[in-house]
Amino acid sequence: MKMRGDSLEMSKKQTAFWALFFSAGGILTRFYRIGVGARTIWDEAHFGKFGSYYIKRQFYTDVHPPLGKMLIGLIGYLFGYNGRFEFGSGDLFRKDVPYVQMRMAVALFGALTVPIAFLTAVELGYSLTASVLVGALTMLDNGFVAIERILLLDPIMLFFITLSTLFFAAFTNKKTKTGSPRWFGTLLGTGVAIGCSASVKWVGFFVVAMVGILTIYQLWMLAEKRKTAPLLFAKHFGARAFCLIAVPAFIYVLSFVFHIAILMRTGPGDASMSSMFQANLIGNPLSEMPREVGYGSIVTMRPAHSGGGLLHSHVQTYPTGTFGQQVTTYGHKDTNNNWMLYPETGDSTENLLPAKKIKHGDTVRLLHVATGRFLQTSPFPAPLSGNKMEVSCKNSPAKSDGDDMWVVEMVSGGEELAGLETTFRLRHRTTGWLLESSGKRLPEWGFSQGEIVCDKDRNAKRKNSLWNIEDNFDPRAKKKEGGKQKTNFWKDFCDLNVSMFNTNNALVPDSELEPCVLTTKPSQWMFLHKGIRMSGWDDSMPKFYMLGNPIVWWLSGAAVFATAALLLGYTAMRKHGVLAETASNAFFIRAAPFCLLAWGMHFFPFFVLGRVLYLHHYFPCLFYAILCLGLLFDHLLPPKQNIRLTAMSAILAVATSAFIRFSPMCYGIEGPAKVFAEGRKWRESWNL
């Protein structure tokens, strides 16, 4: 096809040559000195460990979906890694850990983003010169190189996000004839890639949203055409619905199918799942936990809805209300989760042999074993849910005053209370209100644990008020024998996603631990306010610092603003009929919304997220910002090849110089950091 502004036609051979060139360049820049730093670097301590869990088949939970971590585990398995290295922060790798090969395999995903960037520009209709510029700047960014050469999810995520963009750009290319194999293949490729993106990190849902918005626009424009037959529109709609909704959803769910199937042994993530799920894990003590529960039993209780922790209390008190002992939900095993099912009469539990069973309608008092206080509710507003009552613990006498009386109402699993298998409600006998988990997180004074409240019985079947017995520490009861009751996959799927959501929301900035040493705000990203120290900073070890190429970041950031300003101006001029109808203007107005929407969908959502944020969250945006720069390059420069080559050469010369200047940050800073920082600290905020 004839590329605008180039004197030569971009042939398939030229495209293939540059794609291979950038593939080689991406591999060279990502693989160079990849074995330097023979210890865990930055978040390798997390994702290397998660990969180990798949090899050992131990269950765990994390803030991210499983696909990327399964790939890291698979890579380790294929290279003979046994999963026994702990991946402690800064730990030296043992000889039996093939960390170089594992890093290279992950880095290959990152290396491929370079030719993908070039090919995306080609599919969008950029000139050969602009496409080469886009590929080269992607290759020469120090930030991309730093994050794409170690065991992280980001190289895998960036690969699938950029691949999604390439496929969708090819799908919308005018060369792609509707209904052709290329048309359906690129549409299906888009669906597979966005499904994989979302299955690696939830950030991948931003590209899902971007593709969704553009697809809705395409269908809207198609529906407005009078010549579009209903059957043709139905085919367009059906193909997009299948490829862009059904396929990504299938891939996302399938990643959890494999996740649950592989992680069949007990592990560090058990407590975030339902009691019955835990009981089905090999080696989990709940598999033999006694099911018989009665007065005098010491138990733990879990909300039956997704994402609930265990009923918990501790000596700390509420800062308002009754100022009583806090009652919360806690997501980890702890002795403060233990409660004794005390009889209403106050009889000594020692006289309850054998255990007297608790049936539907019976009254119990819940004694917090660690503090010797009873669970109660009082007519004070809950700390976060003001329309509900506070729940606390009080030092009750043997004879109750009624505030700590709870009526057991069986919901499922029989008429008698039993471990794991029965679901029940606890209704406060005096007020008739129900004990429930609100799903809200307490602030720092409550250690970010879950809020427990008492609420009116508006809906007897609502899940927040349903409970089940998890642990049962009762020597009088017999251990469970026989087969296990399997859990429902969809409930497990929901529990995992709710756990991920809750964990993500709990990642809030800590003003004491990291006062802006690592964290940054979205408004600071494109200006490279600050990088990230990825390793220890001792003079005797190689040091790694994540910081983008200032030339690439500042030029591409300026290009985003310039592209947005030009698009707004051209739109206004076209509306008033004063815009020249040139091919260059028409192309810009068609391509600019794609680049800006993609950039915005990966940037603006971070302003409303409450979680802690770092510089690397901007990397998907950087890819689209570089596309904006390539678009401006094509649009603003005159169509003379010598001028374009001169401009491209000048930009790449400066970018290459900066890349080389800052390259030790990616490949390992040797010696004192103060010496390295001389002449390289272009901004005072860079904590070199």
pLDDT tens by residue, 276-298: 899 999 999 888 888 888 898 99
Q: Is residue 402 part of a domain?
A: yes
Pick the last residue of a domain from 454, 476, 498.
476
pLDDT tens by residue, 477-488: 666 654 567 888
Any bridge partners for residue 168, and if so which?
A: none
Between CA 217 and CA 593 the distance in angstroms is 12
Q: Is residue 598 part of a domain?
A: no
Q: Are 441 and 341 in a shared domain? A: yes
Between CA 360 and CA 316 the distance in angstroms is 33
Q: For position 480, what pLDDT does the model report?
A: 60
Per the prediction, the chain carries an average pLDDT of: 89
The backbone torsions φ and ψ at residue 471, rounded to the nearest 5 degrees and listed phi first, read: -85, 150
Q: For position 288, what pLDDT does the model report?
A: 83
Q: Are 467 and 392 in a shared domain? A: yes
Tokens of 286: 């709940």
Q: For position 347, what pLDDT does the model report?
A: 55
Neighbours of 335 (CB within 10 A): 8
Between CA 194 and CA 171 the distance in angstroms is 14
pLDDT tens by residue, 580-628: 888 889 999 999 999 999 999 999 999 998 778 899 999 999 999 999 9
Residue 455 pLDDT > 70:
yes
Q: Are 234 and 314 in a shared domain? A: no
Q: Are 453 and 305 in a shared domain? A: yes
Q: For position 343, what pLDDT does the model report?
A: 86
Of the candidates 599, 554, 660, the one whose C-alpha atom is nearest the C-alpha of residue 142 is: 660
pLDDT tens by residue, 32-69: 999 998 999 999 999 999 999 999 999 999 999 999 99
Q: Are 241 and 362 in a shared domain? A: no
Question: Which span out of 256-270, 526-540, 672-686 was modeled with the highest average pLDDT?
Answer: 256-270
Q: For position 6, what pLDDT does the model report?
A: 47
Between CA 97 and CA 302 the distance in angstroms is 39
Q: Are 216 and 343 in a shared domain? A: no
Q: Are 245 and 351 in a shared domain? A: no
Angle between helices 128-139 and 113-124 (to 10 degrees): 160
Residue 390 pLDDT > 90:
yes
Q: Is residue 605 part of a domain?
A: no
Answer for the pair 655, 549: CB distance below 8 angstroms, yes or no: yes
Between CA 296 and CA 347 the distance in angstroms is 10
The backbone torsions φ and ψ at residue 426, rounded to the nearest 5 degrees and listed phi first, read: -120, 110
Q: For position 3, what pLDDT does the model report?
A: 40
Question: Which span out of 151-155, 234-238, 428-432 was modeled with the highest average pLDDT?
Answer: 151-155
Q: Is residue 372 part of a domain?
A: yes
Q: Are 455 and 380 in a shared domain? A: yes
Q: Is residue 220 part of a domain?
A: yes
Tokens of 638: 């005159």
Answer for the pair 416, 434: CB distance below 8 angstroms, yes or no: no
Tokens 């043992």 belong to residue? 94
Q: Are 406 and 343 in a shared domain? A: yes
Average pLDDT over residues 291-316: 87
Name the 3-class secondary structure at 631: helix
DSSP 557-571: HHHHHHHHHHHHHHH
Q: Is residue 208 part of a domain?
A: yes
Pick the last residue of a domain from 448, 476, 504.
476
Residues 6+ apart with CB under 8 A from 290: 419, 472, 474, 477, 478, 479, 480
Q: Is the peptide bond before 354 cis (omega within 30 degrees of 0)?
A: yes
Answer for the pair 190, 166: CB distance below 8 angstroms, yes or no: no
Determine the longest span between alpha carbons in the chain, in angstroms. Answer: 98
What CATH number does residue 472 fall under? 2.80.10.50
pLDDT tens by residue, 195-236: 999 999 999 999 999 999 999 999 998 888 767 778 888 889
Q: Given its phi and psi angles, is residue 174 left (phi above 0), alpha (psi -120 to 50 degrees) or beta?
A: alpha
Range of the domain at 245: 156-261
Torsion of CA 298, 304, 308, 314, to 10 degrees: -20
Between CA 280 and CA 290 the distance in angstroms is 14
Pick the last residue of a domain from 218, 244, 261.
261
Q: Is residue 416 part of a domain?
A: yes
pTM of the shown model: 0.90
Q: For position 111, what pLDDT does the model report?
A: 98
Q: For position 1, what pLDDT does the model report?
A: 36
Any bridge partners for residue 427, and if so which?
A: 407, 434
Tokens of 567: 């698009």
Look at 518 and 274; give whichever has higher pLDDT: 274
Average pLDDT over residues 265-270: 92
Answer for the pair 407, 349: CB distance below 8 angstroms, yes or no: no
Question: Which span out of 283-297, 300-314, 384-398, 562-576 was modeled with the highest average pLDDT?
Answer: 562-576
DSSP 285-337: GGGG---B-BTT-EEEEEESSTT--EEEEEEEE-SSTT--EEEEEESS--GGG
Look at 440 and 7; give whichever has higher pLDDT: 440
Residue 303 pLDDT > 60:
yes
Q: Which helix (H) or strand (E) holds 617?
A: none
Q: Are 201 and 303 in a shared domain? A: no
Confidence at 353, pLDDT banded by 50, 70, 90 = low
Q: Are 351 and 448 in a shared domain? A: yes
Q: Is residue 570 part of a domain?
A: no
Burial 483-505 (b: 16+ CB within 10 A, else e): eeeebeeebbbebbbbbbebbee
Residue 505 pLDDT > 50:
yes
Count of structural domains, the chain: 2
Q: For position 272, what pLDDT does the model report?
A: 85
Between CA 181 and CA 550 the distance in angstroms is 42
Distances from the Cα of 332 to the Cα of 88, 99, 584, angstroms: 21, 31, 60
Between CA 177 and CA 574 the distance in angstroms is 29
Q: Are 334 and 472 in a shared domain? A: yes
Residue 638 pLDDT > 80:
yes
Name the 3-class secondary structure at 68: helix
Residue 9 pLDDT > 60:
no
Look at 393 and 462; give whichever has higher pLDDT: 393
Residue 8 pLDDT > 50:
no
Q: For position 59, what pLDDT does the model report?
A: 96
Write the DSSP symbol of residue 607: G
Distances from the Cα of 169 to the Cα of 13, 125, 598, angstroms: 20, 9, 12
Percent of the residues in the chain that have a pLDDT greater than 90, as a whole number: 65
Between CA 631 and CA 601 the distance in angstroms is 18
Residues 6+ apart with CB under 8 A from 529: 520, 683, 685
Of the candidates 157, 162, 257, the one whose C-alpha atom is nearest the C-alpha of residue 493 is: 257
